A and B are shown apart, each in its own frame.
Chain A
């Protein structure tokens, strides 16, 4: 039964294989994740190290590590890991600004001064000022990212 069915689709399968465009060409199943992953970060390299010498990060680092290194060399913090301003309670008129490269960011509040109350997590979106459920401190997103219509790859 199966061999008859296979024989029937054989000409169609062969035709599409011959006429294969990148999206319809036959590939091993193991490559699915890699192919459908979406756009990757651009490849950034240094000049490479010299023979007989110990390499340095500047000549050899690549990828996200290199991106961080280049940022550091320019005095830029690439990842914004510093805590938010906890010296005051944000108000609706003067909310605490939350830097974000995306249209929303998760914020954890422990009040002002820091550690005044139990840690509360909540998401601050770009279109609404959000207030902490415990102390009422207001946070507003400071969106500095790129507006993308179809956010295919997630950061």
Chain B
């Protein structure tokens, strides 16, 4: 119970910001990422044990991230370190991160348009290149578009339910979002396995799989992000006014959805004409 009569101002720190206690995760994660990067380069250039080093680095990175985020959840939900000012800082942080991701996708889109707007003579001076059978955009890609846009609607419904104290609605909304996200991923995997072209098939294959592949990785990350928010929602971590992690996941998911819309229009529809 709040012992409101025993609280002295001097018992609490005078500023609202969170000075984090010493943590091993930043430096551990730093070395894990280095391991993963070197492993990836070794693997892609055929050096022996590259794959093993890549897997090791990936596992270390995943665990490092998990343990770091776990600490953030402990500090925010269980220790109460996340004052309004700290929350705003976290919100700004995730926003800037998403902006950086936008720039990453801009680069892949640039590469796509560079090769497709002025097709080289070596591929027949046409786009799609000679001999490439593109996917029908109005088959699975259109279904995937509907799935992602619907999942965006479901997550918005779930968020509003959370704000209005409707626990059942919030859980339902988040669950349907995750369900549709997983179905999207499964369908993309199926498309990848059945497509008539591979990543090695001219610049078309390179740009198609680089752009949709990068997007697919973001869908998987976004699904995990929403799932974590979903688990926290079930475990009563989130309140109707304080749920920064959930809002961050939702924002990330909308970003993933918008990138797909650009992909669908540019790469699938226009790029397949």
Contacts and interface: CB of A to CB of B under 8 A. Distances in A.
B238 interface: yes
Please give me the 4 A-B residue pairs with the lowest Cβ-Cβ distance, nearest first. Answer: A63-B80, A62-B80, A155-B14, A65-B80
Interface stretch (A3-11, A43-51, A89-97, A132-140): A43-51
B48 interface: no
Interface stretch (B35-43, B81-89, B124-132, B257-265): B81-89
Contacts of A78: 9, 12, 16
A146 interface: yes
Contacts of A63: 79-81
Interface in A68-127: 68, 70, 78-79, 81, 101-102
Interface residues of B, number: 36
Contacts of A56: 165, 239-241
Contacts of A101: 9-10, 14
Residue from B79, B83, B162 with most neighbouring chain A CB atoms (10 Å)? B83
| Majority DSSP secondary structure for residues of A touching B | loop
Interface of B: 1-4, 6-16, 21-22, 78-85, 162, 165-167, 170, 236, 238-242
A52 B240 CA distance: 13
Residue from B3, B10, B82, B167 with most neighbouring chain A CB atoms (10 Å)? B10
B10 A44 contact: no
A37 B200 CA distance: 59
Contact of B7 (A42, A61, A81): A42
13 contacts: A42-B11, A54-B162, A54-B170, A55-B238, A55-B240, A56-B165, A57-B240, A64-B81, A65-B82, A78-B16, A81-B85, A145-B10, A155-B10
